[in-house]
Amino acid sequence: MTTEDYYEVLGCERTADGATLKSSYRKLAMQYHPDKNGGCKDSEARFKAVSEAYEVLKDPQKRAAYDRYGHAAFKQHGGGGAGGGAHDFSGFSDIFESMFGEFVGGQGGARRQTRRGADLRYDMEITLEDAFNGKQTEITVDVSGLCDTCGGSGAKPGTVARGCSTCAGHGKVRAQQGFFVVERTCPTCHGAGEVIADPCNTCRGDGRTDKTKTLSVNVPPGVDEGTRIRLTGEGEAGPRGSPAGDLYIFLHVARHAIFTREGTTLHARAPVSFTTAALGGEIHIPGPDGTHHTIRVAPGTQSGREVRQRGAGMPVLQGRGRGDLVVRIEVETPTRLTGRQRELLEMFRDTETGEECPETSGFFAKMKAALGG
């Protein structure tokens, strides 16, 4: 077996494609063929080195291993490898074991397969007040838990599982398929590494039974729609004592009668009388925690104006501070007037000059100009 770099033997760059490698090999093989050199020992040795290099580099898997490990990927086990360009690749599976782990063998394949229990999902609806203040509550879920009779082993009490003779307790079996070592789940124990001769009558050897669990859930302040709470190990139990999965609680915040939410900002709509909008005043809005917030309405406030109250919004989840409360003012026109009120409004109308509502007078002035007077 040559110790020269295979690419140098073929006179090619490491980036050469298959066609380039083949062309170079044919040229060199013809040049150094023993029949053309009268039995010259040097030519014969060179011919073997060229054949050896091309035998490795023409195969994508062998080439990948050589590019990574060099000649160490093809260390021979036994003699006779150098003659006639023959190679022993029995050590090649070890290279692929380190490259691809348990898919083809190696230390990962010697470990028993662990089948973790399934994760579960639980949807919980809460109010905006719950999201604001936080909440400690309990939920009831139906899950597969450890069998109380056998303790999750799957074996009848007083008996034990025995190691699988097919895979020697590894949970996987290997098979040599030409160049590769293929590894698959053991067909006898299905990856458990153990065989139960006398299964538990309650769980029939699975180690799990259906149960109903009551769990305590802490909903922190500031949660939002879609917030996920994870309860580790509260999902379904794994078969035969394998680790349990997790329980994921997805929160859904119910629609509120007053507030809508954007992150930590609360939005509310507040109708006010036209006299309050004209003269100014105050309105009071209770927050989700019961605190009353005073919103000042400036004189001449128009419908649609937004007033922001700093720090009166939702708490920051797992942080400090609170968002804002944004109140949209909607001016309400009275629809039910007493005789006296109507009289007073008519008196007010008689005193109007147009300057009281500059936007209205400006609109009609522009319309007039647009229509040519």
Q: pLDDT (tens digit, 9 = 90+) per residue, 3-17?
A: 888 999 999 998 888
Residue ranges making up the domain that contains 286:
259-335
pLDDT at 265 over 90: yes
Q: Which of 234, 253, 272 is the last residue of a domain?
A: 253
Alpha-carbon dihedral 69, 73, 75, 81, rounded to 10 degrees: -120
* Residue 40 is assigned to a ligand binding site: no
Nearest to 329 by CA among 262, 277, 367, 364: 277
Domain assignment present for 265: yes
What mean pLDDT do residues 51-55 have? 90
Residues 102-106, mean pLDDT to the nearest whole number: 40
Is there a binding annotation on residue 150? Answer: yes
CA angle (260 as vertex; 256, 261 as ends), nearest 5 = 120
Decide which of 232 and 97 is more confident.
232
Does 357 count as an annotated binding residue? Answer: no
159 in the same domain as 228:
yes
Q: 178 in a domain, yes or no? A: yes
* 167 annotated ligand binder: yes
Is 147 annotated to bind a ligand? Reply is yes
Flag whether 12 is marked binding.
no
In this predicted structure, the answer to whether residue 98 has a pLDDT above a threshold of 50 is: no
Flag whether 329 is in a domain: yes
What span, in angstroms and rounded, lies between the C-alpha atoms of 189 and 195? Answer: 6
Q: Are residues 209 and 280 in the same domain?
A: no
Q: What's the CATH code of the domain at 163?
A: 2.10.230.10
Q: Is residue 345 part of a domain?
A: no
The domain tally of the chain equals 3
- This prediction has a pTM of 0.59
Is residue 137 one of the residues assigned to a domain? yes
As a whole number of angstroms, the distance between CA 115 and CA 156 comes to: 21
Report the pLDDT averaged over residues 99-113: 43
Indicate if 127 and 190 belong to the same structural domain: yes
Q: Are 275 and 323 in a shared domain?
A: yes
Q: Considering the domain boundaries, does residue 228 fall inside one?
A: yes
Residues 168 and 241 in one domain: yes
pLDDT at 78: 39
For residue 338, the one-letter residue type is T
Give pLDDT, residue 266.
96
195 and 310 inside one domain: no
**196 & 124 share domain:** yes
Shared domain for 45 and 146, answered yes or no, is no
pLDDT in tens, 143-179: 989 999 988 888 899 888 888 888 888 888 888 766 6
Average pLDDT in the chain: 83
Q: Using the predicted structure, report yes or no on whether residue 65 has a pLDDT greater than 50.
A: yes
Residues 230, 141 share a domain: yes
* pLDDT value at 77 more than 60: no
